[in-house]
Amino acid sequence: MKNLFALLLLVAMSAFTFTACSDASKVAENVTEKVEETAKESINVAKDKAAQAVAVVNKTGTGYQVGDKAADFTLKNVDGKMVSLAEMTDAKGFVVTFTCNHCPYSVLYEDRLIDLHNEMAPKGYPVIAINPNDPKVQPEDSFEGMQKRSEEKKFPFVYLFDDNQKVYPLFGATRTPHVFLLDKEMVVQYIGAIDNNAKNPDAVTINYVKDAIMALEAGKNPDPNFTKAIGCSIKKQKI
């Protein structure tokens, strides 16, 4: 009798344990599913917010995007003459480059810009260098400093002064140097860096601007058409 009672007790305990484990397993599965659903919702929300942020940036006008048509401008060159892109009727495009005197990255690219202009201007794509910095914030980037630097380096391209800092915000330039390649119709075809190695010209493996120009010459779209500009921040007075 005792053995029978013990056997029944063992069976009952086993059944209870199995039921408890089964219930615990179901609870765990439910919790896992809810965690996964929450994670997916969080990811979707993050993606939506990111997409909204990009849309806001593009809409509010942080500058031209690839495919946008740029407006012409008139700025003073280091020779004292006023220059506009519309006057360059023989040009097939423009390598608009925001640069300056003092930034180490701009200095590193001076010779490369000279070479780029000398090679591409005859093809119809001159370098249009623009100093966007406020000399009150960075005295080295004064107009007189630009004239001196242009003379020292014998720049073969125009070096324009964005005196009231009205042009660079239209383009959305944030660094020096920062390149915007325009075609003949003033449509932005490439934005970003000049090449893929700012510090060492001998280690350059991709010439972004040159490749973009050659793509246009071949009737193709530049690829890539956007890279990250590496350089110093543009200097402006804090309001």
pLDDT of residue 45: 37
Q: Residue ranges of the domains in the chain? A: 1-60, 74-233
Q: What is the CATH number of domain 74-233?
A: 3.40.30.10
Residue type, 165: Q
Question: Residue 15 corresponds to which tokens in the numbers above?
Answer: 């059944």
Between vectors from CA 106 to CA 83 and to CA 165, what angle results, nearest 5°?
Answer: 45
For residue 190, report the phi and psi dihedrals to the nearest 5 degrees: -155, 145
What percentage of the chain exceeds 70 in pLDDT?
A: 74
What pLDDT is stored for residue 18 in this prediction? 43
Write out the two tokens for 137. Answer: 């914030």
Length of the chain: 239
What is the four-CA torsion angle of 57, 62, 68, 72, rounded to 10 degrees? 160
pTM: 0.75
Distance CA 83, CA 42 (A): 52
Structure tokens at 128: 């249009």
Q: Which of 41-45, 56-60, 82-86 has the highest mean pLDDT?
A: 82-86
